[in-house]
């Protein structure tokens, strides 16, 4: 029996891929999709200047920032956990990205 861990998203137990030992999300498409969304959102938050915000987008961005600020104020403990989890996810994401860049897929 391989070691099983709980999926970060659906909380179901799964066996991580042996080539991706720090995998925290199971292979269900819903979870993979959610993982990607979370990765992208976290990446954008860390790189706010990367996507130049054009005129009609700025109100949306402002609202988004306000909402996430409010959420963070209400859930400081979750933010801590969230940040910790994302550090790993981001590493994994970059690894996958570089892999694809080199023609891995």
Footprint (CB under 5 A) of Zn ion, residues 14-73: 26, 28, 31
Q: Which residues pair with 14 in a beta bridge?
A: 5
Residue 7 binding Zn ion, by CB under 5 A: yes
List 5, 10, 61, 85, residue binding Zn ion (CB under 5 A): 10
7 or 42, CB closer to Zn ion? 7
28 or 79, CB closer to Zn ion? 28
Question: Nearest 5°: phi and psi at 74?
Answer: -75, -30
Distance between CA 74 and CA 37 in Å, rounded? 22
CA nearest to 42, candidates 81, 3, 74: 81
In the complex, the smallest distance separating the C-beta of residue 4 from Zn ion, rounded to whole angstroms, is 12
In the complex, the smallest distance separating the C-beta of residue 13 from Zn ion, rounded to whole angstroms, is 9
Q: What tokens does 32 get? A: 């993979």
26 or 42, CB closer to Zn ion? 26
Angle at CA of residue 64, ends 58 and 70, nearest 5°: 135
What does the binding site for Zn ion look like in residue numbers (CB under 5 A)? Answer: 7, 9-10, 26, 28, 31
């Amino acid at each position: 029996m391989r070691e099983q861990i709980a999926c970060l998203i659906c909380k179901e137990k799964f066996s991580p891929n042996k080539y991706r030992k720090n995998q925290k999300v199971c292979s269900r498409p819903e979870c993979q999709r959610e993982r990607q969304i979370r990765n992208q959102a976290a990446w954008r938050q860390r790189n706010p200047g990367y996507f130049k915000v054009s005129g009609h987008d700025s109100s949306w961005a402002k609202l988004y920032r306000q909402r996430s600020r409010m959420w963070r104020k209400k859930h400081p403990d979750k933010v801590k956990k969230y940040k910790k989890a994302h550090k790993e996810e981001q590493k994994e994401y970059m690894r996958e990205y570089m892999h694809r860049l080199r023609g891995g897929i």
